[in-house]
Amino acid sequence: MKKYDSVLFDLDGTLTDSGPGITKSVAQAFNRMGMEPPCQKELNLFVGPPLASSFARYGMNPTQVDEAIRLFRQRYTTVGKFENIPYDGVQHLLSRLQTAGYRLFVATSKPENVAIEVLQHFKLDGYFEKICGASLDHSRETKEAVLEYLKQQCHLGKAIMIGDTQFDVNGAKEHGIPCIGVTWGYGNEKSMRDAGAVAIASTMDELYRLIDQEADAALSSRTS
């Protein structure tokens, strides 16, 4: 009997290592606003969550946040989005899952148009039935909102989320979707476990096995 119907992937830190392009663009935004950029460790925290909430942590008011995002996008949409590379084994993983009959989707807090362009650039877009991301007007930018939009667009059936931060775990939890955390991204393993990740994967092969194992467990609990 078929396992999960759908596997939902975060993008930044899960499918591709987008950190350099994001952090350099964030640093430039701080500089152009006359502010000292955070250290590299703190810059890495901008990878994954919505930009608005990340900039707001540094005492910016809503007008300053909008300006910081505008300055970020000046660099990111022209240069930064290509300072990026798929993690080793991603294409093989997606191919295995697709061959096994899973429907694949992307649910990211990155603007949807940029997410599509990045995946097209790396020739990964063809694996996904739909790529969903944030809207440019801030009306859809949290993981919860992106997943709600995806659910409105597509019937997912039994789904599991794959992500590298607690934001992925919490966003999926809001919709009753279990989440497997991955350790190769920019999140914290303890934070993902504390948020309720059903499992943690350290390699692509382990992730593939966990999707099957967690699918079996979830299916058994629903039919028992």
CA 139 to chain centre: 18
Determine whether 164 is an active site residue: no
| Catalytic hit among 5, 10, 125, 137 | 10
Q: Please give the Cα distance from 155 to 79 (Å, whole number).
A: 35
Residues 88-116 as b or e (16 or more Cβ within 10 Å = b): eebbebbeebbeeebbbbbbbbbbbebbb
Q: Please give the Cα distance from 94 to 37 (Å, whole number).
A: 36
Query: Is residue 17 within a helix (H) or strand (E), and if so which, with residue range?
Result: strand 16-17
Cα three-residue angle 62-68-72, rounded to 5 degrees: 145
Point out the residues that are catalytic: 10
